[in-house]
Amino acid sequence: MGMYFSTFISGIQEFIPGVLRKNIRDVKITRLLDGAILYQTSANIESIKNIRFFNNSFEVIKTFEDPRDIDDMIKECIEDRSIGNEISATIGKSNQGKTFRIITSKENRLISADKKFIDKLESKIMRNGVQVDRSGPDIEFWFLQRRENIGIFMMRLTKHRAYEKVLQKGELRPEISSIMCLLSEPGRADIVIDPFCGYGSIIIERSKIPHHKIIGIDSDRKKIFDLKRKTKGKGIEIYPSNSLDLSRIKSDSIDKIITDPPWGIYEKINSKEFYERMLKEFLRVLRPGGICVILTSQKELTPELAKKLKIKIEGRFDILVSGKKAALFKMRKPQTKDLRVN
Ligand SMILES: C[S@@+](CC[C@H](N)C(=O)[O-])C[C@H]1O[C@@H](n2cnc3c(N)ncnc32)[C@H](O)[C@@H]1O
C-alpha cells in the first residue's frame, strides 16, 4: 500500500471519504484534515493522479507527529538511513524526470528552511541520478507542516496549470464541478441539465461520468456558440434560453439539475425574485425524488426559498470560490405529488 496526501476545496471534508472509497480501491484513511486527506491505498499512482475532485496529490515518503519545525523534519530525514531507499522508490515509481527541488511550507505558506540542511538533503536525493533545479524542476519534494500537529515529507504527483490563465472569468474550476456532479448521486440513466451552463465546466465534468443525456442551457448566445464548438462530438445538447422559463422541458422529466446560477453580485438581478422563479421552475422539471445541486453565494435566501417551496435540503457545504463566500446545496424534490406552493 502506498501513502498519499491529497488536497481539496476546504469545507467539504465530510463528503470526501465516501467519494474517495467509491473512486479507488482499498482506501484506508489515516487523517482527514480541513481541505486535505492522508490515506493509504493499493491503487496505482495513475488512478490517484486522475481523481478529478482533488486539487493536488502527493506521494508520502515520511510523516512526523507534532514536529517542532520544518528544519527539524529535514534534519530527521538527513539522519534517517532508510529514507534514501524510500526516496529512490518514489522517484522510480513516478518516472517524472531528472531534476528536482525541495519546497518547504507551513500552514499553506511557503517558508524558507536552513540552507545547510537543504544542501545536505539535496545531496542525498542526488544519489538517485537527479539534479537540483530550483526554477523549473521535473520533480518537487515538499515538506509540509500543518496546524493539526502533523508534518509530511512527500513528492508531488499532480500540478494543474494556473487557472487564472486557462479559465474564463466566472468559469468554475473543474474540481468544484466534479464535486457538484458527485453530490448529485450520478447514475448511468440520468437525464441532467445545467440551466446556467456558462462556459460549460459542469456539463463537461458530468459528461465524463456515465449518463443518459446531458443538456446545457444559458441565456448568453455567445457562450452557447463557443460551448457548442468546445463540446462537439461529446453528445451534449446545448441551446440558448432564459432558464426562468424552461418551457422546452417537460414537467417531472429531469433526474438531476447541477448548476451555478448568477450569484447576484455582478449581474443586475433582483435575487429574491430571480431565485424564487428559478427554484419553482426547477421544481416543475425535476422528477419526484430528483436532485438539484446548486452553488451560490445566496446562502440565506436559498434555504429560505427552499423551505417556502417545500424542497428538502439534504446537504450544505460552506466553501470559498475565488475568495468569495458561497455554499453548495444539495436539494431533493419530494416524492409526494402534494407540492402546493403559496
Ligand atoms: C455563475 S455563471 C455560470 C458559470 C458556469 N458554471 C461556468 O463554469 O462557466 C451564471 C450563468 O448564468 C447565465 N444566465 C444569467 N441569467 C440567465 C437566465 N435568465 N437564463 C439562463 N442563463 C442565465 C449567465 O450568462 C452565466 O453564464
Chain segment 140-153, per-residue pLDDT in tens: 999 999 999 999 99
The rounded mean pLDDT for the chain is: 93
Q: Where are the domains of the chain?
A: 2-159, 165-332
pTM: 0.92
Element (H, E) at 167: none
**DSSP structure string for 94-129:** H---SEEEEEEEETTEE----HHHHHHHHHHHHTTS
Residue of 225, 261, 217 whose CA lies nearest to 242: 217
CA of 282 relative to ligand 1 center, distance in Å: 15
Q: How confident is the model at residue 166 (pLDDT cuts 50, 70, 90)?
A: confident
Q: How many CB atoms lie within 10 A of CB 296?
A: 20
* Residue 239 CA, ligand 1 centroid: distance in Å: 13
Ligand 1 pocket (Cβ < 6 Å) reads: 170-172, 196, 198-199, 201-202, 218-220, 223, 242-244, 260-262
The CATH architecture annotation of domain 165-332 reads 3-Layer(aba) Sandwich (3.40)
* Confidence grade of residue 342 (pLDDT, cut at 50, 70, 90): very low
Q: What is the pLDDT of residue 108?
A: 86
Mutational pocket test of ligand 1: of 214, 218, 241, the residue with most ligand atoms within 8 Å of the beta carbon: 218
Calculate mean pLDDT across residues 279-283. 97
Q: Tell me, what's the pLDDT at 59?
A: 96
Nearest to 281 by CA among 247, 315, 332: 247
**Mean of pLDDT values over 277-295:** 97
- Region 28-48: what's the mean pLDDT? 95
Are domains 2-159 and 165-332 of this chain identical in fold?
no
- Mapping DSSP to helix (H, G, I), strand (E, B) and coil, where does residue 20 land? helix
Distance 76 CA to ligand 1 centre (A): 52
CA of 284 from ligand 1 middle (Å) equals 20
Q: Is the pLDDT of residue 338 over 60?
A: no
Q: How far apart are CA 279 and CA 336, in angstroms?
A: 17
Does domain 2-159 match CATH 3.30.2130.30?
yes
160-174, 285-299, 303-317 — which is least confidently predicted? 160-174
Q: Give distance in angstroms: CA of 59 to centre of ligand 1.
A: 38
